[in-house]
Chain A
């Protein structure tokens, strides 16, 4: 009688080859590890951003129509923009009583060199901007002399008519996308304030 070699096999229903699974797992893991380490980023150095639209300076220059040498400059400079330092306000020149001045306001960004004249953009987008002047001084009349593309007042150029001697406040406000036409009040005009500066105004 031939002896037959038989072996009892113990198997489970899933005949998984453990080695095969292990190898596959290692392959998968290493692929994943590679993906993990290499993220799709550029390793360029982080560059500084100097904001171009930032208004650091508001200058209001008044020139006496009767005397071109009588120039008054109201200036507010906040060179650190949103930073904690307060704006520095300077007034040079003397405002005379009972006189007419031509006013020109300038909005500048002096945090970058060379400085940027934002007033140009205000004039280019005249329909979206308006400058407002309010004053507590009685007898001082301020009229906006320029207009936007639709014929509504703009306010970059103005005319100041002074009355009696006195002291008070002059506030210059630049509004972005105000309601136009409007009643020339801060409340009625709406829009967003891009600049709001108050100066002590002395009429001598």
Chain B
């Protein structure tokens, strides 16, 4: 409005000063916080051409006058903000508001309190695994690293196939989210390990409950969030290279990660891993055919600034895993022989060869992501992903089919999700999102073996909203809601006799679409409405203690295995049958977490209780006889379950005084610094699971266990650490009786009725591990020499499905060289 007058004055003045140019232009405006548009006082605006600095006022306003028309480089900075540099063309008076990214220190992962007890801004029970520990497991599997967290154990099929169990629940009840992408790799199978290269992870967060609503409302066990290295916006090359070798398996792995970051915002990330192992060895014998070979490639390219970004990622994971030869059996008689023999019935010399029975998996993932931050509002991001998972399983076959896979399934999943976060408000953050999933499952008919899982198409549409509110510095409240609609349509052949025996000819006659030979073609079609909600409160007593309570409720639809399973499983000589009339599971979980930090002691107590209605599990329903012999039949059924337990974690640090390098020159005396000398860390987890319907314990409940580690820092020599760890696992005395009787021919020609004891649990055991690690001062290199199961302890693990056939692995000595750059 008054610029006209200004210009008039300027023109007039210009006459006075005989100046060809008008150097009275004004640049003014406000310096504001990007998130909530709040004024930033004492921001410094430095104009390079004038070599002058201007300061913003209490209302954020600034004014630069006396400018000549031209180009100016200004640099705006503020305490606790990232400096913003820009080039401006000034041809006339201009008003320019500048937004600075304020809370930069809050975005860093460095926190004042211990990193392990994460999420001071959330009420859910969660634990983080840091990069250092992940690197220690570079040659092991993801499941092995997860099992170090209290409350998390492993369900194993041999030493190479490891699935996480979170608070007693596993499989489809635990969601694994890899870099924002929910992993779809046929996780419904007990012998299906997650197809993820652990070396792509820079940070893993385990959420022990259904509170991570963004990724789905059906993870009633928990969610595992795997995060890659953060993108840094400066010119730097970061990464690591790890080589690891081990004596048990006589093999090792090599992995390298290279992250190329540029200040402009462009970045490229690559991780390559190769792992090769031969047969594992138990204390007394070779575990024949347990070798494995894994290759993984992860590539990413993207552009990221604070305000917007986009990325494209490709990941490839290929693994061939040998299954213990002695665990592939024909019928219940073979199982009895195995159980009674006490050691594997087939023991060959060590070899690197991987023969049948074995698994071969290939997992491809393609992911596109884009995000934009809106000043004064928040962030919006969009993800598209495509996953292709092919799983082949090879059994011992005969004749022309020898060497042909018995199971060959292609699973394709596409996912689009839109996520928005509004964090502009003072103490409240809102999150909302919608996502669509489309899944296509195609088993290959060329196997010549009846499909274990049928052809199916499924889709899921879901939306969630959540809010986190911090009414004061002492309180955090959060709540969330999610709805999903899940539909699955399958085309499946049933044996006519089975279809009628299950009563489906009456119950699901509508699904029948044809008959061929002695099989009936059906098209089952189901839809499920799934709801989930979470609510929690956390009270921070002071900087040392906090208490959180979280309630989460979730629905899980039955997975394809629970619905459609139909066949003989060679691993335990059982016939497993799905059930078409399964309803969704409903879980209510209460998690309480009390965390304290008192000087050198840091502890966390996490009791929990989980009621799962219509809990789906396999129960024995009888015995069937075929030409091959007798088999127990297990069918999926729904019962009501109650799980409760407690996780305890404590760390106690012992410190010592060491002379510092500096000398206080004024007083001419040495200064001391306190350094950590010893650290004692202990975890305890206990879980109690019961089927309230059958009034008996739940199967596969992890037994109570203690994990203790003593670390001696700078032991004798600087930067040399010594670790001694113990894992004590108790016997699981609460288990259901699923034993059955079967007539077995003996060598005297008689048919003897034998009890097949598949229920009894192995004895308690205690394992000792030691480790030495040395960090070179200059070279950013670390060497780890460690031994697991140092005393070559012979033991069996209740949660290893191969416990009927063989002992667990014996002593292993590992050498690992880690180079970080």
Q: A: which residues have CB within 8 A of B?
A: 1-4, 6, 8-14, 28, 32, 35-36, 39-42, 46-53, 55-58, 76, 78-87, 111-112, 118, 121-122, 124-125, 128, 134-137, 168-171, 173, 175-177, 179, 185-187, 190-198
Q: Determine how close the nearest CB of chain B comes to the CB of A141; give it in whole angstroms.
A: 12
Complex alpha-carbon distance, A50 and B329, angstroms: 22
Specify which chain A residues have a CB less than 8 angstroms from the CB of B510 in the assembled complex: none
Specify which chain A residues have a CB less than 8 angstroms from the CB of B495 in the assembled complex: 80-83
Question: Is B334 engaged at the interface, CB distance under 8 Å to the other chain?
Answer: yes
Partner of B498, one of A3, A79, A84, A171: A84
Specify which chain A residues have a CB less than 8 angstroms from the CB of B3 in the assembled complex: 6, 8
Specify which chain B residues have a CB less than 8 angstroms from the CB of A52 in the assembled complex: 401, 448
Question: Sorted from nearest, which 3 A-B pairs have the closest CB atoms?
Answer: A193-B330, A136-B749, A121-B399
Specify which chain B residues have a CB less than 8 angstroms from the CB of A80 in the assembled complex: 495-498, 518
Q: B: which residues have CB within 8 A of A?
A: 3-4, 7-8, 11-12, 84, 86, 92-99, 307, 328-331, 333-334, 337, 345-346, 368, 370, 375, 384, 386, 396-402, 412, 414, 416, 436, 438, 440, 442, 445, 447-451, 454-455, 491, 493, 495-498, 501, 516-519, 521, 567-568, 575, 624-629, 743, 745-751
Given A48-B517, A80-B497, A196-B331, check contact A190 B745 (CB 8 Å).
no
Given A1-B8, A48-B519, check contact A39 B95 (CB 8 Å).
no
Closest to B490 in A: A46
Specify which chain A residues have a CB less than 8 angstroms from the CB of B399 in the assembled complex: 53, 118, 121, 124-125
| A36 near B438: Cβ-Cβ < 8 Å | yes
Q: Determine how close the nearest CB of chain B comes to the CB of A39; give it in whole angstroms.
A: 5
| B440 near A196: Cβ-Cβ < 8 Å | no
Specify which chain B residues have a CB less than 8 angstroms from the CB of A2 in the assembled complex: 11
Specify which chain B residues have a CB less than 8 angstroms from the CB of A4 in the assembled complex: 4, 7
| B398 near A118: Cβ-Cβ < 8 Å | yes
| B747 near A134: Cβ-Cβ < 8 Å | yes
Closest to A173 in B: B745
Specify which chain B residues have a CB less than 8 angstroms from the CB of A136 in the assembled complex: 748-750
Closest to A112 in B: B517
| B497 near A85: Cβ-Cβ < 8 Å | yes
Specify which chain B residues have a CB less than 8 angstroms from the CB of A197 in the assembled complex: 627
Specify which chain A residues have a CB less than 8 angstroms from the CB of B307 in the assembled complex: 14
Closest to A4 in B: B7
Closest to B406 in A: A53
Complex alpha-carbon distance, A4 and B99, angstroms: 31
Closest to B399 in A: A121
Given A13-B86, A83-B498, A137-B749, check contact A55 B396 (CB 8 Å).
no
Complex alpha-carbon distance, A13 and B450, angstroms: 64
Specify which chain A residues have a CB less than 8 angstroms from the CB of B751 in the assembled complex: 169, 171, 198
| B626 near A81: Cβ-Cβ < 8 Å | yes
Complex alpha-carbon distance, A126 and B241, angstroms: 50
| A39 near B455: Cβ-Cβ < 8 Å | no
Complex alpha-carbon distance, A32 and B436, angstroms: 12
| A1 near B11: Cβ-Cβ < 8 Å | yes
| A3 near B99: Cβ-Cβ < 8 Å | no
B346, B401, B625 — most chain A CB neighbours (10 Å)? B625
Specify which chain B residues have a CB less than 8 angstroms from the CB of A122 in the assembled complex: 398
Complex alpha-carbon distance, A171 and B331, angstroms: 15
Given A48-B519, A121-B399, A185-B747, check contact A39 B414 (CB 8 Å).
yes
Complex alpha-carbon distance, A192 and B11, angstroms: 103
| Known pairs A3-B4, A6-B92, A195-B628 / 10 extra A-B pairs, C-beta < 8 Å | A40-B412, A41-B442, A53-B401, A55-B627, A82-B495, A84-B501, A121-B400, A136-B748, A136-B749, A176-B396
| A192 near B521: Cβ-Cβ < 8 Å | no
| B448 near A57: Cβ-Cβ < 8 Å | no
